[in-house]
Structure 1
Amino acid sequence: MNRSLLDLLRKGGYILYARHGEATVGIDQPNLNFWNCFTQRNLSELGRRQAVYYGQILRNLRIPISYPIIASPFCRTIETAQLAFGSANVQIDPFLFEIYRLDENLSSAEQKRILDSLDSRLEIKPPQGSNKIIIAHSFPKGISLGQIPNMGTVIVKPLGEGHGYEIIDKLSLSDLAKL
């Protein structure tokens, strides 16, 4: 993996949008309830290890992170963020549930509303000298940040509100470990 990407991340100014760890336990129920993990798919043991490893990699690489870590309201995303960065460092963003909904049969207007809202969030620069981390979901193929493997990370360079963003790289967990 290229050294210059690591140097850029150490300077800060990026959003690391990561998919949660492997979730194979249970299924998302039609009566999904964010307060009841039994109504959702949850992290497997591998997924828990991936989450811990993710946090260790970022600390070992000395990549500066701004807190709180932003997580989707699903148990699997919250647990991923807590295992990687500590329970006290996680903030839930209900909007990130909308990313999950992109897999549903939405109207083009509803899909556009969700993607426009996401885009406006990805334009916001993190605090000087740090990187923002979002733990959420993959996207359907060809939409927004695209398909993301378990604990994969999309490196996003926000260009400022109203100016868009650039996708710098997409890294699997093993790619990140090789930085």
Structure 2
Amino acid sequence: MDRRQLLALSCAVSATLASRVGFAESPPPAAAGAEALALLKRGGVVLAMRHARAPGTFDPPGFKLGECSTQRNLSEDGRHQARALGQRLKAAGLTPAQVRSSPWCRCMDTATLAFGRVQAWPALGSPEGVDAATYAQSLDTLRRSLAEAARRPGEFEVWVTHMFVLSALVNTDTASAEGLVLGLDAKGQPTVLARLETPYR
């Protein structure tokens, strides 16, 4: 999947969301945040979040996963966002059973700043530079892992990933450092149960 395809996907998702009649009827952020925290406390869900603010759109040509200096990285605002999110969950008495992240530095840093611990997971990685078959396999892995998490009441996982991954998984757009509480719908497919916006602007 190349950059033009990724940009087209992002624009299509945004246009779809804007055209939905019910989009403006979403609950106010405070109510949505309270609902998200309650769902995390109940467990059997995943908090899948987009990495915090990182200036730009794509990584520079020739970037390397093992070298943060070759990638887009968090801005100072992004680092504040990540810390604030972790503090919000801690204040609510919520501790994730597991924190997993895309291997990209901006995702790993978001997870580390927010939760102090993280496990790199290639399935959450950006589709940039990945062939379609590999990307499809990663999405299938995420769906199966979500189904497993749904069978564990009383605990939740955190996944830190990219906008394009979340768009492909649940057909929605996300802001920097925004979390989506994911569960399964009646057909056993991934669905967004609530949103948790970053507490830092």
- 3-state secondary structure, aligned to 2:93: coil
Q: Give the aligned partner of residue 51 of structure 2.
A: 20
User: 2:148 matched to 1:124?
Assistant: yes
Q: 2:198 aligns with which of 173, 176, 179?
A: 173
Query: How many positions carry a matched residue from both structures?
Result: 166
Q: Give the aligned partner of residue 118 of structure 2.
A: 90
- Between the two proteins, what is the percent identity of the paired residues? 30
Note the C-alpha offset of 1:143: 3.1
Q: How does 1:1-179 map to 2 (within 5 A)?
A: 1-2=30-31, 3-24=34-55, 28-67=59-98, 69-86=99-116, 89-97=117-125, 100-101=126-127, 107=132, 112-125=136-149, 127-139=152-164, 143-145=168-170, 146-158=172-184, 163-174=188-199
Counterpart residue identity of residue 171, structure 1: L
Q: Deviations over 1:104-163 (max 9, x none)?
A: 7965x665444323322222216441110011111279632322110001111257xx94
| Higher share of residues assigned strand | 1
- 3-state secondary structure, aligned to 2:85: helix
TM-score of the aligned structures, taking structure 2 as reference length = 0.70
Q: Is the 8 A contact 2:54 2:74 kept in 1?
A: yes
| Higher share of residues assigned helix | 2
What is the alpha-carbon root mean square deviation over aligned residues? 2.9
Q: Measure, in 1, the Cα distance between the counterparts of 2:179 and 2:193.
A: 11
Q: Measure, in 2, the Cα distance between the counterparts of 1:147 and 1:112.
A: 19
Structure 1: gaps spanning 5 or more residues:
none
